[in-house]
Structure 1
Amino acid sequence: MTLFWISTLILVLIALAFLIVPVFVGSNQDQVASRDELNKAFFRDRLGELKEENSEGLIASPDEMEVELQQSLLDDVPAEQIQQYTLFKPWLMLPGVLVILGLSYGLYSIVGNQQKVATWQETVSRLPQLTQKLMVQHADPLTDEEMDALTLGLRTRLHERPNDATGWLLLGRIGIANRDIETAQGAMKRALDLEPTDPTLQLEYARTLMMGGEPGQLQFARTMLKHLLERHPTNFEAMALLAFDAFSQGDYPVAIQFWEQMKSLPGIGDDRLRMIEGGIAQAKKEIERAANPSPGVTVTVNLAPSVTLPEQGIVIVSVHTADGAPMPLAARRLPLSRFPLTLTLTDSDSMIPDRLMSQQSKLIVRARIDRDGNVATKDGDWFGESGIVSLGGETSITIQSQF
């Protein structure tokens, strides 16, 4: 802000210069012009008198008198007479100076959005703190206000330093968290263009392409991830993305193959191992279900733009009786990958063997994003619900509400 006020002071001084400099320069020129005009007037008057005296025979040497007149008039113009008409008074400029200062800073205080500029500067100063909080895995998630502040701060820094690959990476991750696919893809692409051999940037860019769901983008992302695994065969995240992609495309054997490879990686941890085992079990159920089809309900689960996905969690899709009873007839847990999700729930997904979906003619379907894997806790979870659907029919759900 100090630089800003210095800049405004310089501009105001330049404006004042346009007022003051011409006054002084013009005053000097006026004084010179006035002196010249006065000399000429004296010379013409006295010359006329000499001619009259010469015609009357009062002057013996008119030429010498004319030369003497020219010399005396050049030397003896009364400076006091000139000054009394040309004397400049500096205090007369004071109103003009005050008007310029008042207009400059007065108008800025009205239309300059000074408070917004101050808030912007304060937000930029918080960028390191917010960045650190975003990068810490087990820290509390950023609030919407903090996320907006972080985005503004990052965009400001990237405007000043457009070749900062880390800054573009962070902006892309914010786009992913906000489900802003366009921003995420654009930021990750800029980061990858700056560091094309960085495996982290390759992984993140592939993730954003998969979130978009466009066929061409999906194929490009798969190719990028496979090339990444050729150079880094133990990259867990690349395998996980390919496994989730294969599962969502219904290619369950390929998904199982990737998950089995992930199980053999060193240091994957218990949480990841449980996630892998759950994915394998679900893929095997899907293979069995495809081999032994039974009447069910096909559902497509969409995600509203306002939904913020947690870093970890699962999607629970459940089928209930048409009266909306809380106890589900059938349910399925799915990895939290990309949306929309399309699946078919049948009797093989039943929760209680003696309460089968096939025994009901009308059903409703619910979907919930579960953050901790505990179905008993729902606070903060996002959910959606379908209308009444017939057994064997199709429906869609948009997850857009929050407990």
Structure 2
Amino acid sequence: MIDFWIGAGLLLLAALAFLLLPLLRGRGVQAEEDRTALNVALYQERLGELAAQQAAGTLDSEQLEAGRADAARELLDDTEGTTPTRHNNHLGRVVPLIAAILVPLVGYGLYLHWGASDKLQLAREFTEQPATMEEMVGRLERAVKAQPESAEAWYFLAKTYMNRERPADAATAFEQVVKLAGRQPELLGQWAQALYFAGDRQWSKQLQQLTDEALRGDPHEVTSLGLLGIAAYEEERFAEAIGFWERLVATLPAEDPSREAIQGGIARAREQLGETAPASVTKPAGEMVAETGAGLTVEVQLAAEVVDKVRPTDAVFIFARALSGPPMPLAVKRITVADLPATVNLSDADAMTPQLRLSNFEQVRLFARVSRDGNATRGEWQGSSEPLAPDDADAVKLTIDQPVAP
């Protein structure tokens, strides 16, 4: 920004020059007038002295005239080359001075009101690659502050918040997007998704209204169908989850690789209902991992100090979560404490939505959580891994040894 202020300063100096140079020239003219007035006063004083000398008898008439001629000649010599006498106007000097003070003050005030130095700075920042994601978030936050009417800026900020696991902030940003861009089905679905995760995965009347409105506008809106399926599955409404996910699969193109992940979710829901999954959607886990190119083997066990604090019937959820991404699990398996120690495989086939799969992220963390009431979003004990690649060939050992924060 220094070059901008240098340019503004130069323009200000040019404006002040137009105001102050005439005033400086006026001061020179005033000095000439003052010198002329002094010479005239000296001339008149000289004439008075000559008249007094004649009256005293020391000068005759010829000498008096010669003295007057000399005094007149000296006056002409002193005033030669000066500008004509002008009428002194005090207001003509005051106005330029007042204008010289007001111009920079008024100009600065007008620029603060209508200027765009913040947008200029942001434009320059966005030409440079951010060093960290936090820096990118800061830029986007300043962008929506400088351009609160930009739906695009709010949308990018909302998506970034979701990637940074800040769903509450994302929900607020998506609300602004909807206000600016209109109640488009895709935006309503993403707003509902952010609210769902911000509300600790608890379904609400507002979420139902948003997803209903989104599907009325577009019966094939992907985010809403996926979200409704997830909510139904987590609340053990497996038949409803199957219905939503089947609609989602029918919507996706035949070549879309996420179809298999959704079909895997449908198969698990059918298993919960005691049904047999159709052969077209049932594949061995090893084959699924080979097709997707991403899969993890997880060895889960209980710490010795936890064994006496859990029940054999307690649910155990083993899931993967993106290191830098949304809080929603990328892949999930469910067993019971009685099954421990156990070895499970997590792959894209275990994805809960087509957009969120293990193979879409560079690093993930694994979690194993014991939940007495069978709710994967909360529990009593858990263990976690260090960040790792989703295609790591080595088995990952998870020990459940930490209490879950309330």
Cα pair 1:319 1:328 within 8 Å, conserved: no
Q: For residue 188 of structure 1, what is the aligned residue in structure 2? A: 174
Distance in 1 (CA, whole Å) between partners of 2:388 and 2:219 is: 30
Partner of 2:31: 30
Q: Which residue of 2 aligns with 1:105?
A: none
> What amino acid sits opposite 2:27 in the alignment?
G
Unaligned segments of structure 1, at least 5 residues: 84-116, 131-143, 289-293, 348-362, 389-394, 399-403
Question: Is the CA contact (8 Å cut-off) linking 2:321 and 2:327 kept in structure 1?
Answer: no
After superposition, where does 1:29-68 map in structure 2 within 5 Å?
29-40=30-41, 42-43=42-43, 45-50=45-50, 52-53=52-53, 55-56=55-56
Whole-angstrom distance in 2 between the partners of 1:58 and 1:209:
116
Partner of 1:76: 76
The residue aligned with 1:314 is 331
In the alignment, the residues of structure 1 paired with residue 255 and residue 136 of structure 2 have an alpha-carbon distance, to the nearest angstrom, of: 31
Please name the residue that 2:161 is paired with.
175
User: 8 Å contact 2:232–2:240 — kept in the other structure?
Assistant: yes
Aligned match of 2:383 in 340, 361, 366?
366
- Retained in 2: the 8 A contact 1:319–1:330? no
Matched AA of 2:330: G
Could you tell me how far apart the structure 2 residues matched to 1:169 and 1:152 are? 15
Whole-Å Cα distance in 2 between the matches of residues 372 and 270 of structure 1?
A: 23
Residue 221 (structure 1) shift: 2.9
**Cα pair distance change 1:58/1:218, threshold 3 Å:** farther
Whether contact under 8 Å (2:193, 2:223) holds in the other structure is: no
For residues 317 and 8 of structure 1, the distance between their equivalents in structure 2, rounded to whole angstroms, comes to 68
Aligned to 1:396: 404
From the superposition, tell whether residues 23 and 253 of structure 1 become closer, same or farther in structure 2 (CA, over 3 Å). Answer: same
Distance 1:179 1:341 in 2: 19
Closer, same or farther: CA 170–266 of 1 in aligned 2, 3 Å: closer
Give yes or no for the alignment of 1:228 onto 2:214: yes
Task: Provide the C-alpha distance between the structure 1 equivalents of 2:383 and 2:200, rounded to a whole number of angstroms.
Answer: 26
Residue-by-residue CA offset, 1:342-386 (whole Å, 9 max, x unaligned): 873799xxxxxxxxxxxxxxx96335699987674689xxx9865
Indicate the SS of the match to 1:365: strand
1:328 aligned residue: 342
Q: 2: CA distance between counterparts of 1:259 and 1:267? A: 14
Q: Is this contact kept in 1: 2:331–2:352, CA < 8 A?
A: yes
Out of 126, 130, 146, which is 1:124 matched to?
126
Letter in 1 for 2:232: A
Letter in 2 for 1:313: L
Local SS of the residue matching 2:371: strand
Kept after mapping to 1: 8 A contact 2:201/2:231: no
Residues 120-163 of structure 1 show CA distances to partners (whole Å, capped at 9, x for unaligned) of 6654235xxx8xxxxxxxxxxxxx73645655665666566544
Instruction: Describe the shift of the 1:28–1:260 C-alpha distance in structure 2 as closer, same or farther (beyond 3 A).
Output: same
Q: How far apart are residue 191 of structure 1 and its match?
A: 2.1
Q: Which amino acid counterpart does residue 401 of structure 2 have in structure 1?
A: G
**TM-score between the two structures when normalised by the length of structure 1:** 0.54
Cα pair 2:190 2:223 within 8 Å, conserved: no
* Structure 2 residue matching 1:76: 3-state secondary structure: helix
| C-alpha distance 247-55 of structure 1, shift in aligned 2 (>3 A) | farther
Alpha-carbon shift at residue 226 of structure 1 (Å): 0.9
Structure having greater relative contact order (Cα 8 Å, sep ≥ 6):
2
One-letter code of the match for 1:34?
A: R
Structure 2 CA distance for aligned equivalents of residues 304 and 374 of structure 1: 14
Are 2:369 and 2:383, in contact at CA under 8 Å, matched by a contact in 1?
no
Distance 1:201 1:193 in 2: 10
Count of paired positions: 308
Deviations 1:272-308 (A, max 9, x none): 33322332344456668xxxxx743467999999853
The 10-residue stretch of structure 1 (156-165 or 295-304) with the greater mean CA deviation from structure 2: 295-304
Assess, with a 3 A threshold, how the Cα gap between structure 1 residues 4 and 386 changes in structure 2: closer, same or farther.
farther
> Which string of whole-angstrom CA distances, capped at 9 and with x for unpartnered residues, describes residues 87-123 of structure 1?
xxxxxxxxxxxxxxxxxxxxxxxxxxxxxx9996654
**Counterpart for residue 387 of structure 1:** 401
Deviation (angstroms), 1:330 = 7.8
CA separation of 1:185 and 1:318: change in aligned 2, threshold 3 A: same
Taking a change above 3 Å as real, the CA distance of residues 309 and 224 of structure 1, as seen in their structure-2 partners, is closer
Partner of 2:382: helix, strand, or coil?
Answer: strand
Over residues 216-254 of structure 1, what are the superposed CA-to-partner deviations in whole Å (9 max), with x where a residue is unaligned?
A: 994323211111112211222210011112333454443
Paired residues for 1:141-160 under 5 Å? 145=131, 147=133, 150-151=136-137, 154=140
Cα distance in 1 between the residues matched to 2:326 and 2:351: 14
- The amino acid that maps onto 2:342 is P
* Structure 2 residue runs without a partner (length 5+): 84-118, 275-310, 357-366, 375-379
Give secondary structure in 1 for the equivalent of 2:165: coil
TM-score by length of 2: 0.54
